[in-house]
Amino acid sequence: MLLALSQAFTGAGIQLAYALGPLIVVSLMGSAALAGLTVTLLGVSKFLVAYPIGKVTDTYGRKPGMVIGLSLALVGTVLVGTAINAGSFAVFAVGLLIFSMGINAAQQLRVAAADMYPANRRAQAVGWVLTGSLVGTIVGPILVAFGESSAEAFGATEMGLPWLIMPLLILPGIACVMAVHPDPKDIATNLHHYYPELSPRTEGLSDSKGAGITIGRLLDHPARRSAILANAACHGNMSIAMVTTSLVLAHHGSSLAEISIAGAFHSAGMFAFSLPLGWLADRLGRRAVLLSGVAIALLGGMLVAWGGEYAVVSLGGFLVGLGWAASNVSTTALIADTTEANARGRAIGLSDSIASGTSITVALVTGLLLTSYGIAATGIVAALLMAPALALAAQLPTAPQEHLAAEVPLLRAD
């Protein structure tokens, strides 16, 4: 619950980046050609920080990594808000990169949740933490509406003021992480003490701190490989939606508050159903949830690109987020199922890096497509990206995955 509360306090910041990022770039640069830059920076930050912070949490525990991340996010929000008010694109880019690195480092919350439960309850545990982000979908639009109505009184811009308020939410998030005892990694390495029916071998309880976690080793098992690559495609599909949604709605005359509400629908899809999706992934298996998520994300991408109307585009954004949630929960659980505790942070970090690499590439391509061929072209890219992901998800084992760690070789740290 403390981890979920921390996620709840900090979720509004990523909501602001999703909803307002492309509009901020356009306002600072005067062109939509770089509209995908905010999503690219989000991806670059995850690519840069995911593995190193996983190394930190594997070596020193999950709490230090999460506190480092949230502290970076706090600094980043101040820089972003200041840059928007000053009209400085360079400072905005630096601030957003720092903020994104912090938020992505704090995603070790998922690893911490997976640490505390055996395989047959693990996806639901991840779902509990991600559900905390649902609060951000409520707080985000409130911050944007406050910025629109009160910016002049505070001597700030309507898109800059919400960022300057964010530290008031991040500080309680840090306090929640600090209150967690014992460190979740300590639970993971002694899980059989909490669940006596488990054998130490099943949960991978080695105390090794080796550094031999590579992309090749991560992808050497077919189940992990299929899940990770399908999840990467869902991240790329979401990049397209994040770049295009606010621009489409602004083109049709929607206000910042309306665009933020549409972003909240997208974020609700990402987080509101994480708990039931985790429950289903534990009961029906990782494959069923991942396959359904990819199909839903594909449909959502088509609606965002080709819907046109506010309600249709908003629905598309919601479905993109829902598909992403299904892939994120099921893939995180599957990696944890097949990875020992002392390697888990780096394994999930490498998976995040693969996903972020896809997001970076797709976001850059999307900005160029928008200026050259229009919104419809982005829908074609989404379809081409997601079709192979369906085939990958279908390759996962069909049986429920409650004890997958006992059925396949564990990915070890040494």
Q: How confident is the model at residue 413 (pLDDT cuts 50, 70, 90)?
A: low
* Residues 182, 2 contacting (CB under 8 angstroms): no
Q: Is the pLDDT of residue 56 over 90?
A: yes
* Residues 348, 269 contacting (CB under 8 angstroms): no
Q: What is the pLDDT of residue 202?
A: 47
- Residue 115 to residue 336: CA distance in whole angstroms: 8
Query: Phi-psi region for residue 253, left (φ > 0), alpha (ψ -120 to 50) or beta?
Result: left
The percent of residues above 70 in pLDDT, for the chain, comes to 90
Q: What is the pLDDT of residue 210?
A: 46
> Sign of dihedral through CA atoms 314, 317, 319, 325?
negative
Q: What is the pLDDT of residue 369?
A: 77
CATH tag for 2-183+214-405 (out of 3.30.1180.20, 1.10.12.10, 3.30.70.2860, 1.20.1250.20)? 1.20.1250.20
- Residue 203 to residue 205: CA distance in whole angstroms: 6
Q: Is the pLDDT of residue 67 over 90?
A: yes
Q: Is the pLDDT of residue 58 over 90?
A: yes
Q: Is the pLDDT of residue 105 over 80?
A: yes
Q: What is the pLDDT of residue 204?
A: 39
Q: What is the pLDDT of residue 366?
A: 78
Lowest-pLDDT choice from 33-37, 302-306, 356-360: 33-37
Of 96 and 412, the one with more pLDDT: 96
Of 35 and 262, the one with more pLDDT: 262
- Residue 65 to residue 198: CA distance in whole angstroms: 28
Q: Is the pLDDT of residue 198 over 80?
A: no
Q: What is the pLDDT of residue 31?
A: 67
Average pLDDT over residues 71-78: 94
Q: How confident is the model at residue 74 (pLDDT cuts 50, 70, 90)?
A: very high
Q: What is the pLDDT of residue 233?
A: 94
Three-state SS string over the chain comes to CHHHHHHHHHHHHHHHHHHHHHHHHHHHHCCCCCCCHHHHHHHHHHHHHHHHHHHHHHHHCHHHHHHHHHHHHHHHHHHHHHHHHHCCHHHHHHHHHHHHHHHHHCCHHHHHHHHCCCHHHHHHHHHHHHHCCHHHHHHHHHHHHHHHHHHHHHCCCCCCHHHHHCHHHHHHHHHHHHCCCCCHHHHHCCHHHHCCCCCHHHHCCCCCCCCCCCHHHHCCCHHHHHHHHHHHHHHHHHHHHHHHHHHHHHHCCCCHHHHHHHHHHHHHHHHCCHHHHHHHHHHHCHHHHHHHHHHHHHHHHHHHHHCCCHHHHHHHHHHHHHHHHHHHHHHHHHHHHCECHHHHHHHHHHHHHHHHHHHHHHHHHHHHHHHHHCHHHHHHHHHHHHHHHHHHHHCCCCCCCCCHHHHCCCECCC
Lowest-pLDDT choice from 29-33, 130-134, 406-410: 406-410
Q: For residue 411, list its beta bridge partners.
A: 339
Which residue type does 124 have? Answer: Q
Average pLDDT over all residues of the chain:
84
The two tokens of residue 48 are 């840069």
Domain boundaries, the chain: 2-183+214-405
Cβ burial, residue 335 (10 Å; 0-12/13-18/19+): buried
Q: Is the pLDDT of residue 117 over 60?
A: yes
Q: What is the pLDDT of residue 211?
A: 46
Q: What is the pLDDT of residue 405?
A: 46
Q: What is the pLDDT of residue 177?
A: 95
223-254: per-residue pLDDT in tens? 899 999 999 999 999 888 877 877 778 777 77
Q: Within a 10 A sphere around the Cβ of 299, how many other Cβ atoms?
A: 16
Of 138 and 124, the one with more pLDDT: 124
Q: Is the pLDDT of residue 201 over 60?
A: no
Q: Is the pLDDT of residue 402 over 60?
A: no
Q: What is the pLDDT of residue 299?
A: 94
Q: What is the pLDDT of residue 208?
A: 46
Average pLDDT over residues 206-228: 74
Q: Is the pLDDT of residue 137 over 80?
A: no
